[in-house]
Amino acid sequence: MPGLSRWWGSRSDTDRIEIYTRWSFYVALAGLPFLVVTVVASEHRSRGVGWDVALAAVTLSTTAACVVLTRAGFRRGAVPRGPLAVAVVAGAATVAVGLFLTVGRDAAGDPYPAGPWLVGAVGTAVLVALSVTTPYRPLLWLSLAVGVVAGGLAAVRPGMPVVGAVVVGMSIAVAVGFFLGAFRFSVWLLDVVREQERARGVQAQLAVAEERLRFARDLHDVMGRNLSAMAVKSQLAEQLVRRGRPEAADEVAAIGALAGESLAEVREVVRGYRAVDLRSELAGARSVLRAAGIDCTVTGEDLELPEEAQVVLGWVVREAVTNVLRHGSGTCTIAVTRDPAEVALTVTNDVRGDVGAWGSGLTGLGERLAAAGGRLAAVRQDGTFVLVGTVPA
């Protein structure tokens, strides 16, 4: 038993429900031989051991075919024709042999009441096996068919009124219908649990993909501006060194500081604690752009903004400065404005050459703004490039 408990404990909840559902079908089907024996025994008439063995053989064949049919339904989700044919033929043989062994002792050979219950027991077993893959509505019609056959057998008994035969048939049809409903509900519940398990798996995969996308976006936004600034300062330092100017040492020191800052920011991104402050980003943008020879004007940096708006617009400043360093020239204007509904950050700069389509930076930036309930717009107008990011106030 400890081994069984350990095996059961190692299974997931979905596996446990599936095992329970499967074995509820198997146990119910295994009861068919006992039902047949119970029904036949009360009205049994000896016709030799051979017929008794034949009844046992066809009953066990029906049970085995129904079990195979059930197992195939759980595994493949379809009804295999071979086991279904065997189950129907063996079930009909079970009813026929059972009726032969329970015929009355009078000269007319009238059947005893065992016939309707044999039909009900065998029909229920076959329909239970079909209920794994068959919808409930067709099963209801098949239950009615079983009730009609059972009522017909009851009606041929001498002295049985028509109303009595109808009651017997309806009783068996209703009983079979309710029995199948219980088993069909178990299958439906198992399907729901499986679907939830798949949904949890997809949700976990989406969470991993989203985290990877966040990391890639943060890394791009953090490193883009710093690497562009380092490239500009490296070129400036090279020119100063060639001219023997002492300012080259300052530019090299600035490059080293930027490299250290970038390393620290990458570590923060990896840990997930990266925070962005709009005022610091605006000050850094002004310093970097002026060092690159671009005249930068910033307005609205003293506005009191919500923390979420500062963080999102700070990323807008980073991406905008990166693009200005790559494609800009002359002047750049960064303006922060606020109205009762939203906060807007507008970056306008002169451009040289073809800016091209949106890259991964602007795409990621648009996703950030959309997640915060904002939007991003970018347009080129007569030699200038305008980038506008808005978020709710």
pLDDT tens by residue, 269-281: 665 555 567 887 8
Same domain flag for 189 and 326:
no
In this structure, of 100-114, 196-210, 221-235, 334-348, the range with the lowest mean pLDDT score is: 100-114
Scanning the structure block, which residue is given the tokens 């002047």?
Answer: 331
Instruction: Assess whether pLDDT exceeds 70 at residue 360.
Output: no
CA–CA distance, 307 with 71 (Å, rounded to integer): 59
Convert the pLDDT of each residue in 126-138 to its tens digit: 999 888 888 889 9
Q: What average pLDDT does this structure show over 161-176? A: 86
In this structure, of 275-289, 331-345, 363-377, the range with the lowest mean pLDDT score is: 275-289
Instruction: Decide if 95 is inside a domain.
Output: yes
Overall pTM surpassing 0.85 (yes/no): no
Instruction: Decide if 86 is inside a domain.
Output: yes
Instruction: Assess whether pLDDT exceeds 70 at residue 222.
Output: no
Give the CATH number for residue 352. Answer: 3.30.565.10
Instruction: Assess whether pLDDT exceeds 50 at residue 384.
Output: yes
Same domain flag for 195 and 308:
no
Instruction: Assess whether pLDDT exceeds 80 at residue 166.
Output: yes
Same domain flag for 160 and 282:
no
pLDDT band at 109 (very low <50, low <70, confident <90, very high): very low
Provide the domain limits for residue 73: 2-203
Instruction: Decide if 261 is inside a domain.
Output: no
Same domain flag for 282 and 192:
no
Instruction: Assess whether pLDDT exceeds 60 at residue 122.
Output: yes
Q: What is the structure's pLDDT at 22?
A: 87
**299: which DSSP letter?**
E
Residues counted in the chain: 393
In degrees rounded to 5, what are phi and psi of residue 352? -125, 135
Q: What average pLDDT does this structure show over 50-57? A: 87
CA–CA distance, 286 with 234 (Å, rounded to integer): 18
Q: What is the structure's pLDDT at 192?
A: 86
27 or 294, higher pLDDT: 27
How many structural domains does the chain have?
2
